[in-house]
Amino acid sequence: MSALQLAILVLLTAMTVISALMVVSVRNLIHAGFWLLPFFLGIGGFYLILSLEFLFALQLLLYAGAVMVVVLFALMLTRDVMNPRVRQTNRLAIAAIAASASMMGFLLIVIYRQMGALTVVPGQVDAEAITRELGRMLLTDYVLPFELTSALLLSAMLGAIFLARNPKVELEEMEG
Amino acid sequence: MIEVVVQFFRDYPLLWTFVKAVVLASFTLLIPLAVIWVERKVAGFIQSRLGPLHVGPQGTFQTVADALKLLLKEDIVPSGADKRFFYIAPYIAFISTVLSFMVLPFAPGWVALEMNVAVLFVIGVSLFNVVSILMAGWSSNNKYSLLGGLRAVAQLLSYEIPMVLSVLAVVFYTGSLSLTGIVEYQVKHGWLIWQPPIMIAALIYFICALAEINRTPFDLPEAESELVSGFNTEYSGMRFAFFFASEFANNFFITAFAAALFFGGWDGPILPPIVWTFLKVFVMIFVFMWVRWTPPRLRIDQILRFAWQFLVPVSLVNLLFAIVLGVR
């Protein structure tokens, strides 16, 4: 690894970790939303230095683009988010730590199991073969989890619409 | 002489990358000057006036003078603004435009970064523009700015979906996610615009492109007559210039993207490829302006309803046709 590559890696890691910390520590919800952008970009940068261009583009499109904007939009539509007197944080810090710690634990288990296959410095990878294999696996071996995820997202969306629906307004619209 | 230069840059690839970045950024700053001049002339023509005349021949340097004026103006920040985000929002818009120019092939080999997922990259990067508009609208601490920002997000997100679906039709037809690959396919097999499903996709793309760059039937985020100036109400001087420049550069980019997707990019007889690219782009920009100065502005609910209840279903069905009729 050359000095330049090391520098880029350190910069990317710093950017990702710092912006992730900012997301969870700033008091203003909108600021937290905006801090998501460098975080998602940092993750995309890791894909890019592994020369996984396809994953990088998807990260950009889905996370840095779509998810980011939808999160911000939801925040903007939340009542009283602009009011400085309304407290924007809740007291669920312990539960949040527990949830993310368990997630981290699962990831560590996966990484630990694959330890033998990992190299310290990833060499040149055949990005196209990896992308093809990824597509094949998603639609054959892992088609059930894949479809379940989409069903989960769909139900989340329906739930959001149901919760956000205001029956009174709808009635007025029908009459008018 | 030229070999020495080429050899020099081959020895220092990092420097070469830097040069490319500088050239692209300057291009993104300079092309709006041309586009805005054309816009003023076309607007003048459509409204039976002459447009700019006095600075330079046919008023060519009017925009240059305006840009210089904007750069010299005081940088005003509203007292209640969210300063950090207020400062960086225009630059995010500008960077997103520069990044999308990065993968655009102007002529064979004239592309700053050959990326085999260029189409996805462009769509992803164009969403940063939405973030910057939202950031500007929110951080200005102004009702009109905030309304403009919210409208921008609702509108751009709604039109992004049919736009992506129509671009996907091209991707399925050519089997390539690379812009260079798509253009080369058209050089070999003829322009995609003549294929029936792609023709519909191009039409949808055209409508969505108008919405994406906030041109008049869709200029809700700015809407001078209702929202002062929408999301950029509070911006002045250089920051305003950056918003303005990135909007017009985006106008150029979105037509160049359409040229590459539907009209064979640099493909054309006799004239050199780069001339063909610019010719196609400026013809399309002219059409965009023609639309801008003809119909009036719509209402935000009409615009959103049109996107979700008409464009999305049509583009989905069209995508199905494109997949079935595509080459493989």
- A88 vs A39, which has greater pLDDT? A39
Q: What is the pLDDT of residues B190-234, one digit of tens each?
A: 788 888 888 888 999 998 888 888 777 777 767 666 777 777 787
Question: Per-residue pLDDT for B68 more than 50?
Answer: yes
Contact at 8 Å (CB) between B302 and B155? no
Region of B228 please: left (phi>0), alpha (psi -120 to 50) or beta: left
Residue A46's H or E segment, with its range, is helix A29-49
Same domain, yes or no: A29 and A100: yes
> Could you tell me the sign of the dihedral formed by the alpha carbons of B118, B125, B152, B310, in that order?
positive
Residue A148: per-residue pLDDT: 92
Residue B252 to chain A, least CA–CA distance (Å): 21
Q: Which residue of B has its CA nearest to A62?
A: B124
Sorted by where each begins, the domain ranges of chain B are 67-325
Across the interface, which of B82, B124, B149 has its CB nearest the CB of A64? B124
3-state secondary structure B47-87: CCCCCCCCCCHHHCCHHHHHHHHHHHCCCCCCCCCCHHHHH
DSSP secondary structure code for residue B217 in this structure: G
- Residue B117 and residue A68: Cβ atoms within 8 Å? no
Instruction: Report the SS3 class of residue A7.
Output: helix
Of B116, B138, B153, the CB nearest to A53: B116
Query: B121 and A69 in contact by Cβ < 8 A?
Result: no
**A93 to chain B, minimum CA–CA distance in Å?**
27
Of A54, A69, A128, the CB nearest to B153: A69
Answer for the pair B8, B23: CB distance below 8 angstroms, yes or no.
no
Q: Which two tokens stand for residue B34?
A: 């041309």
**Of A24 and B315, the one with more pLDDT:** B315
CATH number at residue A65: 1.20.120.1200
Contacts of B235 (CB under 8 A, 6+ apart): B90, B136, B140, B243
Is the domain of A132 the same as that of A157? Answer: no
* 8 Å CB contact of A31 and B85: yes
pLDDT of residue B328: 57
Q: What pLDDT, on a 0 to 100 scale, did the predictor assign at position A176? A: 46
Q: At A101, is the pLDDT very low, low, confident or very high (cuts 50, 70, 90)?
A: very high
Shortest Cα–Cα distance, A144 to chain B (Å): 23
Q: Which two tokens stand for residue B33?
A: 């000057």
Residue in A31, A37, A77 nearest the CB of B131: A37
Contacts of B125 in chain A (CB under 8 A): 60, 65
Total structural domains in chain A?
2
Residues from chain B that touch A31, judged by Cβ atoms under 8 A, are 82, 85
- Are B126 and B256 spatial neighbours (Cβ–Cβ below 8 Å)? no
> For position B307, what pLDDT does the model report?
87
Do A154 and A175 belong to one domain? yes
> Is A18 in CB contact (< 8 Å) with chain B?
no
Residue of B nearest to A28 (CA): B82
Residues in chain B with CB shorter than 8 Å from the CB of A34 are: 85, 131, 135
Contact criterion met (CB below 8 Å) for B119 and B171: yes
**Cα–chain center distance at B154:** 18
Question: Distance (Å, rounded) from C-alpha B71 to C-alpha B75?
Answer: 9
Helix (H, G, I), strand (E, B) or coil at A32: helix
* Contact with chain A for residue B88, Cβ under 8 A: no
What pLDDT band is residue A19 in, cutting at 50, 70 and 90? Answer: very high
Report pLDDT digits (tens) over B98-148. 988 888 888 787 787 888 888 888 888 888 888 888 888 888 888 888 888
pLDDT at residue A34 above 90? no
Residue with tokens 């798509």: B182
Decide if B187 touches A, using CB distance below 8 A.
no
**What is chain A's mean pLDDT, rounded?**
80
Residues A170 and A156 in one domain: yes
Distance between CA atoms of A77 and A80, rounded to whole angstroms? 9
pTM, two decimals, is 0.83
The residue segments making up the domain with residue A116 are 3-83+90-120+127-141
Residue pLDDT, tens place only, A110-135:
888 887 776 666 666 677 787 788 88
Alpha carbon separation from B107 to A87, B95, B120 (Å, rounded): 55, 23, 20
Does residue A126 belong to the interface with chain B, where contact is any CB pair within 8 Å? no
Same domain for A170 and A102, yes or no, is: no
Interchain contact, A65 vs B14, CB within 8 Å: no
Give the model confidence (pLDDT) of B259-273 as tens digits: 888 888 788 788 888
Shortest CA gap A54–chain B (Å)? 6
Q: Residues A33, A106: one domain?
A: yes
Q: Which long-range contacts (CB under 8 A, 24 or more apart) does B142-147 make?
A: B142/B78, B142/B233, B142/B234, B144/B227, B144/B228, B144/B229, B144/B230, B144/B233, B145/B230, B145/B231, B145/B232, B145/B233, B145/B234, B146/A76, B147/B227, B147/B230
What does the pLDDT read at residue A103?
93
Measure the CA–CA gap between A89 and B136, rounded to whole angstroms: 24
Residues A156 and A98 reside in one and the same domain: no
Angle at B65 between CA B63 and CA B69, to 5 degrees: 115
- Whole-number Å distance between alpha carbons of B174 and B108: 18
